[in-house]
Every structure is written in C-alpha cells, then in structure tokens.
Amino acid sequence: MKYLKCVLKETLRLHPPFPLLVPRETLSGVKFGGYDIPQKTRVFINSWAIQRDPEIWIRPEEFLPEIFENSQVDFKDQDFEFIPFEAGRRGCPGITFGIASTEYVMDNLLYWFDWDLPKTSKAIEILDMSEVYGINVHKKVPLRLVPKPYSF
C-alpha cells in the first residue's frame, strides 16, 4: 500500500488537477526573485511548472513513483515544491478526505479486478498521455480498459 501512495503522489505531481492555482493579491509591495512586485498585484501560481522544475526534481518529465518512497515531501505540509492542492493556510480543506477516498477506491479496483485492453484495440498500443487544459486538466484521449473480476 505504501507504493500505491507513492504512485498517487507522482500522478498528482505530473498531472495536477488545477495547473494554475487560485489567484492571490499582494497586500504590500515585495521583492521576489529579483523582481519588484507592487502592492495589489494579482499573482497566479503555476503548480504544473513548479512540480516539473528540473532544479528540484530528478528527471521531472518521467513517471517515477520511487522518488516518494524515502522522501518527506508531502502535499499536506509546507513543501512548496509539491502543491497539487495549494499549500499552507490556504490549502484545500478537503485534502485528507479526498486522498483517503482516492486511495480506498484505487485499492479496491486493483485488488478486486485484473485490467486488460479491449479486444478491438491493437496489442502494441502506445499510451497517449497528452492533456486538454481548461478549468481542470483531463486526458485528451481517454484510457479504455476492460475489468476482469479477480478470482482466487
């Protein structure tokens, strides 16, 4: 189950539900990263770019759940390199329930079913991970799988 949690974190790192977080407005003028940001400036945080930063992540474009195995980085803490649901005081209040629900559903789907490609699809089908951007992100080409009940 620990590895499944790593897979979930890596999925949220590579494919955050909201690539641009809720806009913020500065209360006072600040200097950040060598830039002067005046008071009352609307700031958009690009979580997609932060979570794919090559200075923070090893091979940021690859799906590597193993990076979370011995890592203390979590979306519930103050780790601002991994923010699929915002961070700090303004983070999503439903994180705990949402992650627990997702883990429960994934556990049951993987435990009770074996998954296969449909008979009509090509055996050597390339998985298309391209996305469509909007209010939230979803796959451009849906993944179609056939569940087969697992029998002991």
How far apart are alpha carbons 147 and 109 in whole angstroms? 9
Q: Identify the H or E element spanning 113.
A: strand 113-116
Residue 131 located in a structural domain? no
Residue 112: the pLDDT is 94
Ranges of residues in the chain with a pLDDT under 70 are 77, 121-125, 152
User: Binding site annotation covers 6?
Assistant: no
Burial of 21 from C-beta contacts in 10 A (0-12 / 13-18 / 19+):
buried
For the chain, the average pLDDT equals 86
Whether residue 127 lies inside any domain: the answer is no
Number of domains in the chain: 1
Q: What's the pLDDT at 130?
A: 84
The verdict on residue 13 lying in a domain is yes
User: At how many degrees (to 10) do helices 95-112 and 2-14 cross?
Assistant: 120
In a domain, 22, yes or no: yes
In a domain, 76, yes or no: yes
Enclosing domain of residue 101: 2-111
What is the model's pLDDT at position 121? 60
Residue 123 located in a structural domain = no
What's the pTM value of the predicted model, to 2 decimals? 0.81
Instruction: Decide if 139 is inside a domain.
Output: no
In a domain, 89, yes or no: yes
CB 92 within 8 A of CB 98: yes
Which burial class, exposed, middle or buried, applies to 85 when counting CB atoms under 10 A from its CB (0-12, 13-18, 19+)?
Answer: buried
Instruction: Give the integer Cα–Cα distance in Å for 132 and 79.
Output: 27
| pLDDT at residue 109, rounded to an integer | 94
